[in-house]
């Protein structure tokens, strides 16, 4: 029985410093950074232990994230394949860019559970098969959650100084709060990809198994892309994402129709599943009084490539840092927890906002323009690295392109690229001025929304 639970009441009650709801990458990283500090931390997850971290995913994560946060590298069974780079194929498959960069193809549940076990060993309590059914809100501030443990058949009222919503795309805690609280911001269907993947054994050994493959094609994955991520000599994670809310049809139909084009060597499927991926900037505020939101629930995914495990870890790191400060001063208000916003925005959120604009631009490009742009080198591999690392599309690239306009056949594409590059810089400036206090949030948000509206109008011209 977890420490602090009072067994005599009809509804059990317990109290903790921190309640973390959800044990995926975001929740378990938060727990890992909070562990060993003498706090009373409870992490719950609806899944049984052996399925925590088991969610449909491409499982590719850049090594930089582990280095940046000081997280342990995956090892042994946690690591399925080391990655040396990505090959990006144009829609007509005639141009292939190779972007080098180290990373890992994870056995995600194994790595996730290892992080959680380390946190457990260092004092965090973990309850599996336990679901938070409703938040406890008192005087407008978050005070914990009512949880149900399916192993013991107990309903428990858990009070906590800080409650962390790490519920992934379910967003199952924060969306039960009254509307009007900033952390209840909803997801527009168009700002998400519907993604599906299978893991399969291949008929032959995979060529270049240390390189991930990405196939861009509006025809075969409208508003998204196909991937082929080797997980070993003869094992692959293959899938696609398509933009939601556009009436494009079922992701499964695209999968069946184009599997033979992008993964002709698939022999035997060992795993299948899909989920939604948010592809927008993060929540305007990731904190409320007594509450922090992390991971997919806070929309921390990279809007262009849809990778969200590394940024879920960043959000967990920032959450833990902000909670530690709150514990130090004994104040759990949104203003003290605000450091979470400042940390996340500077580490990743600002880049996400800029990449959201790039994503919107890419989603409107016909295959012919992408073929043309890649073939002519309007953007080059190194520019793509710059975009993905810093969220900056170098104006010089677009300007260089503009100078070539006379000789090329698609001036409108080039002009648009220049517009996109300039708005990407502008949005980063807006994020540079992310408010330092809650009271400035609404004004800042109005300026941001204004900028996004201008960008959308410019893109539609
Ligand atoms: C098909 C697909 C491919 C992807 N490919 C990649 C990739 O290659 N690389 C990458 O980095 N990212 C990828 N992503 C994104 C990545 O999977 C997510 O961004 C990341 O796993 C999010 O982690 P999380 O901890 O926020 O959420 P989750 O991993 O979803 O964890 C949320 C946890 O909360 C629990 N939970 C939910 N509600 C409750 C509740 N009320 N009470 C208790 N527990 C609850 C769930 O059981 C779950 O364990 C992909 C996503 C998809 C769908």
| Separation of CA 370 and ligand 1 centre (Å) | 30
Nearest ligand 1 atom, CA 133:
41
DSSP 189: G
| Separation of CA 248 and ligand 1 centre (Å) | 24
Nearest ligand 1 atom, CA 197:
1
Cα separation, 133 vs 342, in Å, equals 30
DSSP 406: G
Residue identifier of the C-alpha nearest atom 50 of ligand 1: 57
Name all residues whose Cβ lies below 6 A of ligand 1: 21-27, 44-47, 52, 55-61, 131-132, 166-170, 172-173, 195, 197, 239, 274-275, 277, 295-296, 301, 306-310, 312
List, in sequence order, every beta strand (DSSP E) within 279-407.
Answer: 287-288, 291-293
| Helix and strand numbers, DSSP H then E, in the chain | 13, 16
Strand partners, 147: 132, 156
Nearest to 61 by CA among 275, 293, 306: 306
Residue identifier of the C-alpha nearest atom 38 of ligand 1: 167
Residue identifier of the C-alpha nearest atom 52 of ligand 1: 57
DSSP 437: S
Q: What parts of the chain have a pLDDT lower than 50?
A: 1-8, 395-396, 405-407
| Separation of CA 57 and ligand 1 centre (Å) | 8
Nearest ligand 1 atom, CA 275:
53
Cα separation, 166 vs 34, in Å, equals 14
Q: What pLDDT shows up at residue 372?
A: 85
Q: Which CATH architecture has domain 12-54+111-187+282-337?
A: 3-Layer(bba) Sandwich (3.50)
Residue identifier of the C-alpha nearest atom 15 of ligand 1: 308
Residue 151 backbone dihedrals phi, psi, to 5 degrees: -70, -40
Strand partners, 227: 214, 239
Residue identifier of the C-alpha nearest atom 53 of ligand 1: 275
H helices within 165-205, ranges in order?
none
Cα separation, 369 vs 217, in Å, equals 11
Structure tokens at 233: 């000599």
Compute how many other C-beta atoms are within 10 angstroms of the C-beta atom of residue 63: 16
Nearest ligand 1 atom, CA 27:
25
* Mutation pick for ligand 1 pocket among 168, 212, 214, 276 (CB with most ligand atoms within 8 Å): 168
Nearest to 338 by CA among 263, 248, 434: 434
| Separation of CA 20 and ligand 1 centre (Å) | 15
Q: What pLDDT shows up at residue 406?
A: 43
Q: Yes or no: is domain 87-101+189-278 CATH 3.40.640.10?
A: no
| Separation of CA 279 and ligand 1 centre (Å) | 13
Nearest to 27 by CA among 124, 144, 98, 104: 124
DSSP run (H or E) holding 382: helix 381-390
Residues 6+ apart with CB under 8 A from 128: 23, 44, 45, 47, 48, 49, 52, 151
* Mutation pick for ligand 1 pocket among 312, 314, 317 (CB with most ligand atoms within 8 Å): 312
HSE, CB side, 13 Å, CA atoms: give it for residue 42. 29
DSSP 346: I
| Separation of CA 297 and ligand 1 centre (Å) | 9
- Taken as a whole, the chain contains a residue count of 461
**Using alpha carbons only, what angle is made at residue 230 by residues 227 and 233, rounded to the nearest 5 degrees?**
155
| Separation of CA 300 and ligand 1 centre (Å) | 11
Cα separation, 213 vs 225, in Å, equals 10
Residue 107 backbone dihedrals phi, psi, to 5 degrees: -90, 95
Nearest to 300 by CA among 339, 351, 336, 342: 351
Strand partners, 49: none
Residue identifier of the C-alpha nearest atom 10 of ligand 1: 307
Residue identifier of the C-alpha nearest atom 41 of ligand 1: 132
**Quick check: helix, strand or coil at residue 434?**
coil
Tell me if 155 sits within 8 A of 14, measured CB to CB: no
Structure tokens at 410: 């698609």
Strand partners, 86: 99, 212
Nearest to 173 by CA among 279, 296, 335: 296
């Amino acid at each position: 029985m977890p420490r602090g639970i009072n067994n005599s009441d009809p509804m059990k009650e317990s109290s903790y410093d921190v309640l973390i709801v959800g044990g995926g990458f975001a929740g378990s990283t938060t727990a890992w950074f909070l562990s060993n500090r003498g706090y009373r931390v409870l992490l719950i997850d609806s899944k049984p232990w052996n399925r925590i971290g088991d969610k449909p995913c491409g499982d590719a994560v850049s090594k930089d994230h582990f280095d940046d946060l000081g997280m342990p590298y995956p090892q042994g069974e946690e690591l399925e394949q080391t990655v040396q780079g990505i090959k990006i194929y144009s829609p007509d498959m005639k141009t292939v860019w190779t972007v080098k960069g180290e990373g890992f193809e994870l056995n995600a549940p194994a790595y996730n559970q290892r992080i959680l076990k380390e946190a457990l060993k260092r004092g965090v309590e973990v309850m599996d098969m336990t679901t938070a059914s409703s938040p406890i809100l008192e005087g407008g501030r978050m005070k914990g959650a009512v949880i149900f443990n399916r192993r013991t058949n107990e309903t428990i009222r858990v009070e906590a100084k800080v409650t962390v919503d790490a519920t992934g795309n379910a967003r199952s805690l924060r969306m039960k709060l009254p509307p009007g609280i900033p952390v209840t911001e909803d997801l527009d269907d168009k700002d998400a990809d519907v993604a599906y993947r299978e893991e399969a054994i291949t008929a032959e050994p995979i060529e270049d198994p240390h390189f991930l493959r990405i196939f861009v094609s509006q025809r075969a994955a409208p508003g998204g892309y196909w991937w082929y991520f080797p997980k070993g000599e003869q094992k692959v994670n293959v899938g696609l994402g398509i933009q939601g809310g556009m009436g494009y049809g079922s992701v499964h139909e695209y999968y069946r129709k184009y599997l033979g084009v992008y993964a002709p060597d698939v022999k035997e499927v060992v795993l299948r599943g899909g989920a939604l991926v948010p592809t927008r900037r993060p929540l305007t505020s990731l904190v409320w009084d007594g509450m922090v939101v992390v991971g997919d629930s806070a929309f921390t995914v990279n809007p262009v490539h849809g990778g969200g495990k590394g940024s879920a870890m960043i959000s967990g790191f920032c959450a833990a840092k902000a909670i530690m400060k709150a514990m130090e001063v004994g104040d759990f208000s949104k203003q003290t927890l605000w450091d979470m916003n400042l940390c996340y925005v500077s580490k990743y959120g600002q880049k996400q906002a800029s990449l959201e604009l790039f994503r919107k631009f890419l989603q409107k490009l016909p295959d012919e323009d992408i073929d043309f742009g890649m073939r002519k080198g309007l953007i080059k591999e190194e520019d793509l690295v710059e975009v993905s690392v810093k969220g900056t599309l170098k104006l010089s690239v677009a300007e260089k392109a503009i100078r070539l306009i006379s000789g090329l056949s698609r001036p409108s594409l080039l002009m648009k690229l220049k517009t996109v590059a300039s708005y990407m810089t502008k949005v980063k400036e807006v994020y540079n001025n992310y408010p330092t206090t809650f009271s400035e949030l609404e004004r800042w948000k109005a300026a941001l929304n204004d900028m996004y509206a201008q960008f959308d109008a410019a893109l539609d011209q």
